[in-house]
Structure 1
Amino acid sequence: MSALIQHTEPAPTRLPPDWSGIGGCALPVAPGTATGLLDSHALVLTVTGPLFAEVDFIEHLCGPGTALWIRPGQAVRFGEPPDDTATIVFRRGLFGPDELPDLVPDDPSGPAARPLSLPGPEILRAAFAHLTADADGPPGPVTAALLRHQLAAVLLRLRSLDPLTDPAGHVEGRTFERFQRRLEEGYPHTRRVEDYAAELGCSVRTLTRASLALTGRTAKQVVDDRVALQARRLLAATPLSVAEVGRILGFGEPTNFGRFFHRETGLSPGQFRGGSTTAGPGGIPEQRHPAD
């Protein structure tokens, strides 16, 4: 399945029920050509596979016995799933930042962000089946608490199978984690690294050193990457005009947004939305590597 963006009506996404914030389904977005923006977390499990999944314009082939964790706000598209594909959806904010050890579910990075091969997929398959069955049962506070505990066990199992590559105690890892969290809130309002450094009480050099250590990208590149990613998400999965997307991302003039988008992706917003084939394999441009 090609990664070209062919803009269609937004793909409907599956939302968890309000009473528990946790539910089950086959896929969070119906398979097909439309790209959807997730409003909740989605844990996708394949037992026999394979399943084609495109997450934020990166194509994955989920083979037998893999788990994939898709975060809220990500742009997703799926091929036809095997019959035994199962998904757990849960709302953001369900767990506090210190509730699960070494795991903050609402952080943009975490375990199984790419297909995670499972040594014993039948264990998670059984957990998914129990959770889905309980979610379909009578609603109530006892069932909601049960679902929450079951989900916590699944998330912690994924963390144990996909541990942190940079320990939380590493000073640059902690700095970059704080930077990422602030960036998720601030990218529509400012692209100045100086603003983030001031809010975090550190220097631009400190942020850049942490960003390079964790990602190989400067702090300025990390900020621009995040803005460009959100632009691609909105262009691919919403009917918003190019000018509206630019305004949402803090660009007062469409021409300024167009220049930024072309600089970051090599395409104009219209070319990206229309599915240009000039951007290399799959039609999805790579990150640029400018000198700051």
Structure 2
Amino acid sequence: MVDFVHHRCAPGTLLHVSPGQVQRLPQAAAGHPEDFQAVMVRFTAAFPPRLQRTDPLLNHPFGPVARTIPQAERESMARAMAELAQEYRRAVDEADAADITIDLLRQLLSALLLRITRLPAPETADRSDTGGDIFPCFQRELE
């Protein structure tokens, strides 16, 4: 659930939760902790390098929440997330992480964000029922 809206999460679902949004994950059924598995990537807005292509993803708090990663992209996305996690563990293990490790984390995160922006737009992204372009502009200004 993101901002009190339920999103069905099947394998290959990507949820984008912006700062300030409320997120609630389901509790695993008793004795079945494997029912729900997720990878979370958390970062501050200032961490990834500014890229024009990732601005719509990072700077639109009311953009689509749920996306489906196409089957053909899932393995490469999983590898990108695993590499990011590996470098993050290295940075944590090295108490005074070298600047090169921090820069590498930034670049790996940027590559992951670029892959996400390349995904097909979710079907629910059509906002014509909410006032076309005017409503999203109002939401951004209000936020």
Instruction: Report the TM-score, using the length of structure 1 for normalisation.
Output: 0.37
The alignment's C-alpha RMSD in Å is: 2.8
Percent identical residues? 32
Question: C-alpha distance in 2, partners of 1:75/1:62?
Answer: 16
Of 98, 101, 109, the match for 2:53: 101
AA at the equivalent of 1:123: S
1:124–1:154 CA contact under 8 A, matched in 2: yes
Q: Which residue of 2 aligns with 1:141?
A: 99
Q: 1:110 to 1:162 in 2, by over 3 A?
A: farther
AA at the equivalent of 1:160: R
Of 61, 84, 108, the match for 2:8: 61
Instruction: Report the TM-score, using the length of structure 2 for normalisation.
Output: 0.69
Gaps of 5+ in 2: 127-131
Q: Which residue of 1 aligns with 2:18?
A: 71
Question: C-alpha distance in 1, partners of 2:54/2:84?
Answer: 23
Number of positions where the alignment pairs a residue of Structure 1 with one of Structure 2: 123
Gaps of 5+ in 1: 1-53, 167-171, 185-292
Which has the larger share of strand? Answer: 1
Q: Point out the structure with max Rg over C-alpha.
A: 1
Which has the larger share of helix? Answer: 2
Q: Which runs of 4+ in 1 moved over 6 A?
A: none
Q: SS state of the match for residue 86, structure 1?
A: coil
Question: C-alpha distance in 2, partners of 1:177/1:143?
Answer: 38
Question: C-alpha distance in 2, partners of 1:151/1:162?
Answer: 19
1:58-116 Cα deviation digits (max 9, x unpaired): 112211122111111111111237475211111123357x62326340321335x1142
Q: 1:144 to 1:117 in 2, by over 3 A?
A: same
1:68–1:115 CA contact under 8 A, matched in 2: yes
Matched, 1:116 2:116: no
Q: SS state of the match for residue 55, structure 2?
A: coil
Determine which structure has greater relative contact order: mean sequence separation of CA pairs < 8 Å that are 6+ residues apart, divided by chain length.
Answer: 2
